[in-house]
């Protein structure tokens, strides 16, 4: 790995550590870590932009494309999650995770150990395609077929995320839908269009980064692989759907006929 690229990555680590440290202090002051979800998206945009500014020799068109893909995604997601937090307050997941520590007066250390430190590490790893893709794309690096394919996949992902989130927000805003299951629009074809879109975005960014060379593709592959695992097997779909059948009548039937992740035609009843 070139020294300039390694130096830029180390600078990104410093930015991330300092930023997370300051936000941790904010969380301790307000007694709530729930805004970390918005930081997850926004932080990746910051790392992508910092990488763009650190490109040795000046960023080429591929570097600018990858940075733009990451920043646009990050800005939309961060704003969406921040406004959701401001509107709904503390996330029940974090309240359960840190409730005992808060009662015992250990909220600050628990928030750092279980939320901010792990999130910083995982954020850096997940964002590797954007960081390495940008840093390995000094001018006059041209756009190849992989970069163009990645941009198309990214666009599909952004549409699924934005439309899925908008449909869910509109559904929840109607009091008549309380306790009901959203089964129209994109939610008719997948139970998690926003998660599917998220995966498409980062596999798209990875493809664009892979256009810079095999070593970039291999070194950054852990990013989209980990994100997809998180969304489908860890803290995404499994955690969100846990107990949903008890809380929302008809959810079991919805699960039986609707794809869990990749959009597909719903199964016919009977």
Per-residue pLDDT reduced to its tens digit, 234-267? 877 887 787 777 778 888 889 999 999 999 999 8
Q: What is the DSSP letter of 270?
A: -
Name the 3-class secondary structure at 114.
helix
Beta-bridge partner residues of 39: none
Digit-coded pLDDT (tens) for 176-222: 998 899 999 999 999 999 999 999 999 999 999 999 999 999 999 99
Q: Which two tokens stand for residue 40?
A: 């997850």
**pTM for the model:** 0.93
Residue 270 has what pLDDT? 52
Stated length of the chain: 270
Ranges of the chain whose pLDDT falls below 50: none
Q: How far is CA 207 from CA 14, 69, 105, 130, 254, in A?
A: 27, 12, 46, 10, 33
Residue 269 has what pLDDT? 63
181 neighbors 101 (Cβ within 8 angstroms): no
What is the C-alpha separation between 250 and 235, in angstroms, rounded? Answer: 23
Count of helices and strands (H, E) across the chain: 14, 0
Residue 191 has what pLDDT? 95
What is the C-alpha separation between 221 and 217, in angstroms, rounded? Answer: 6
């Amino acid at each position: 790995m070139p020294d300039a690229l390694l130096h830029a990555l180390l600078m990104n680590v410093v930015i991330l550590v300092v930023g997370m440290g300051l936000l941790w202090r904010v969380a301790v002051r307000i007694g709530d870590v729930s805004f970390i979800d918005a930081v997850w998206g926004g932080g990746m945009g910051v790392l992508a932009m910092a990488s763009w500014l650190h490109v040795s020799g000046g960023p080429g068109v591929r570097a600018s494309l990858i940075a733009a893909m990451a920043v646009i995604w990050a800005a939309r997601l961060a704003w969406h999650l921040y406004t959701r937090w401001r509107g709904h307050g503390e996330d029940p997941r974090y309240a359960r995770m840190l409730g005992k520590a808060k009662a015992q007066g250990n909220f600050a250390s628990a928030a750092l150990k279980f939320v901010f430190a792990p999130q910083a590490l995982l954020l850096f790893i997940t964002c590797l395609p954007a960081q390495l893709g940008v840093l390995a794309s000094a001018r006059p690096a041209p756009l190849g077929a992989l970069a163009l394919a990645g941009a198309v996949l990214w666009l599909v992902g952004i549409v699924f995320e934005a439309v899925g989130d908008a449909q869910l927000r509109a559904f929840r805003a109607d009091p008549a839908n309380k306790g009901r299951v959203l089964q129209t629009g994109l939610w008719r074809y997948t139970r998690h269009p926003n998660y599917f879109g998220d995966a498409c975005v980062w596999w798209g960014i990875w493809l664009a980064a892979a256009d810079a060379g095999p070593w970039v593709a291999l070194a950054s592959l852990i990013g989209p692989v980990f994100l997809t695992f998180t969304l489908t097997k860890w803290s995404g779909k499994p955690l969100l759907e846990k107990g949903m059948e008890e809380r929302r009548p008809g959810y079991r039937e919805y699960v039986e006929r609707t794809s869990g992740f990749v959009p597909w035609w719903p199964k016919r009843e009977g």
